[in-house]
Chain A
Amino acid sequence: MTVPWRLRLNPILCTGHALCAELLPEVIVLDEWGYPILSPVPDELLSLARRAVADCPTLALAIEPAP
């Protein structure tokens, strides 16, 4: 199955709050300094991904169709 959505991170805005990784551990893992590493978003997690985008305190996350 193709994964039609992906998250995009603005690393300048991201302050490593890690909120997103708590909401969406299947897609977002943290590096050793607490900054998110993103994987493609499977369909069944789309609504959680949208919530991670909305809840990021610095508006560093966006969701967009994968190219």
Chain B
Amino acid sequence: MTAPATAPSERRLLAGYHALGRPAGLRDHRARYGALPSLGPEPGERAGTRLIGLLDEAGLTGRGGGAFPTGRKLRSVAESGRSPVVVVNAAEGEPLSGKDRLLLAVAPHLVLDGAVLAASALRARRIAVCVHSAESAAQVESALAERGPVRSVAVRVVRVPGRYVASEETALVNHLSGREAKPAFTPPRPFERGVGGRPTLVANAETYAHIALIARYGPRWFRACGTPDAPGTALFTVSGAVLRPGVIEAPLGTSVAGLLRMAGGPAEQLQAILTGGYGGAWLPIRRARTPATPAAFAAAGAALGPGIIVALPARVCGVAESARIMRWLADETAGQCGPCTFGLPAIAEDLAALADGRAGETVWRRLHGRLSAVAGRGACRHPDGAVRFATSALRVFGPHLAAHRHPGNCPAAQGPGLLPTRGGR
């Protein structure tokens, strides 16, 4: 294994970019990280054994939103005993996330290293890198061209439609299998039966980049920052009312306030933070000391998701913002399951009625009923995210809702709105 003498500590995935000040080509990448280590399998060795052991010990969890243990996911794929397909999910469907696009732009070889390591460990013969934009596709293509062919693995770059649910894992599997990019009912889950019927490893682009570093520097190094429960660093896309919006890398466990500071600090007085994106949840600003780990966020009613942090200024109406975002989430349904197809627009209407001061007691009661009726009843977790988002809006902006009892009582609600809800990608 490469000597970890110069291993970066708190800035890992973005260390090369910050040192160079430009995207890393293959030569830069090799100079910084050395060659790709070999993790087998040796003839006779079970597929994935060594890599899975490293990932288990490192405690890496997926950075695509679900925070699922990556070692366990690889083990499920390996257990089938068949040659799987490796899918890099860099489609980044959340409108306010930019980290996967940044990774592909500045450190594509880290992502590709991780995918190649996973593929060779699992004896996969196909890798699909899923991106949304033509720009990302071109960046991956040129990184692949630099590397030349990968031994016994076919790598292809696949564009994914710009719909929110198209980057959900079963939708990606459908898309890669020549079907419409809509989520599928599970089981079978992708690790059992995925692309073309093969077991399929779907993981986020950032997750693969961490794999590339864990394979080189080892689990102890990985755990040297972050918390025991949530080790390592993560990429956070910080936007809204901060002085330097953008993608930052920070140890998991950094407080929300700390993340805001790394993004230049608040640009004005804040009232709340949107965590985890539109499928995430609001966190009131008085809880800004909450550490950014999946468990601490969940306990505070927030959601880490794919590391989205949006600072909502005090001058903006959180209810009106939430109503617009809920409408967007409803429009993004794949329209396959009744409770999602009909429930999300109904919830969006109720939130809009609240925001406009048109809601009486019946709307309130109906909305609470709808929120508890819809979660968990779709084929995918899109409705669950939308319900979590709307529920957090009622909780966090509850006190302010009194101002919405009558039309026109909240002047801030008349503004154009801050957070993007169309053409965001």
B379 touches A12 (CB 8 A): yes
- Check if A47 is an interface residue, CB within 8 A of chain B: no
- Is B343 a contact of A33 with CB atoms below 8 Å? yes
Q: Which of B337, B343, B370 is the one whose CB lies under 8 Å from A12?
A: B337
A33-B342 in contact given A10-B185, A11-B185, A12-B184 (Cβ < 8 Å): yes
Tier of interface size on chain B = 10 to 19
With A31-B373, A37-B373 already in contact, the answer to whether A11 and B336 are too (CB < 8 A) is: yes
Assess the A14–B185 pair: CB atoms within 8 A. no
Does B4 reach chain A (CB closer than 8 Å)? Answer: no
Query: Among the listed B185, B339, B378, which residue makes an inter-chain contact with A31, where contact means beta carbons less than 8 Å apart?
Result: B339
Known: A31-B373, A37-B373. A13 touches B185 (CB 8 A): yes
- Contact across chains for A11 and B339 when beta carbons are under 8 A apart: yes
Q: A23 CA to B339 CA in the complex, in Å?
A: 21
Chain A residues with CB below 8 A from B338, complex form: 11, 14-16, 31, 33-35
Mask of A11-49 contacts with B, CB within 8 angstroms, 1/0:
111111000000000000001111101000000000000
User: What residues on A are CB-neighbors of B400 within 8 Å?
Assistant: none
Report whether A35 and B377 are in contact in the complex, using a CB–CB cutoff of 8 Å. yes
- Quote the shortest CB–CB distance from A38 to chain B (angstroms): 9
B379 adjacent to A11 (CB under 8 Å): yes
Question: Chain A residues with Cβ under 8 A from B379's Cβ?
Answer: 10-12
On whether the beta carbons of B339 and A35 are closer than 8 Å, the reply is: yes
Within 8 A of A (CB), among B319-353: 336-340, 342-343, 346
Tell me how far the C-beta of A49 lies from the nearest C-beta in chain B, rounded to whole angstroms: 19
Q: Which residues of B contact A32 (CB under 8 A)?
A: 346, 370, 373
Closest residue of B by beta carbon distance from A10: B185
B189, chain A: closest CB distance, angstroms:
14
In the complex, the answer to whether B377 meets A11 with C-beta atoms within 8 Å is: yes
Q: What is the CA–CA distance of A25 and B313 in the complex, to the nearest angstrom?
A: 49
Which positions 356-413 of chain B face chain A at CB distance < 8 Å?
370, 373, 377-379
Complex Cα gap A11–B340 (Å): 9
Residues of chain B in range 60-80 having any CB-CB distance to chain A below 8 Å: none
Rounded to whole angstroms, the CA-CA distance of A13 and B184 in the bound complex is 10
Assess whether A37 is in contact with B377, with CB atoms less than 8 Å apart.
yes
Residue of B336, B337, B370 with most partner-chain A CB within 10 A: B337
In the complex, what residue of chain A is closest to B373 when comparing beta carbons?
A31
What is the CB-to-nearest-CB distance from A47 to chain B, in angstroms, rounded to a whole number? 26
Q: What are 6 residue pairs bridging A and B, where the CB atoms are less than 8 Å apart in the complex?
A: A11-B185, A11-B337, A12-B379, A13-B185, A31-B343, A37-B373
Tell me the B residues contacting A by CB distance below 8 Å: 184-185, 336-340, 342-343, 346, 370, 373, 377-379
Q: Which residues of A contact B (CB under 8 A)?
A: 10-16, 31-35, 37
Known pairs A11-B338, A12-B336 / 8 extra A-B pairs, C-beta < 8 Å: A11-B340, A11-B377, A12-B185, A14-B337, A33-B339, A33-B343, A33-B346, A37-B377
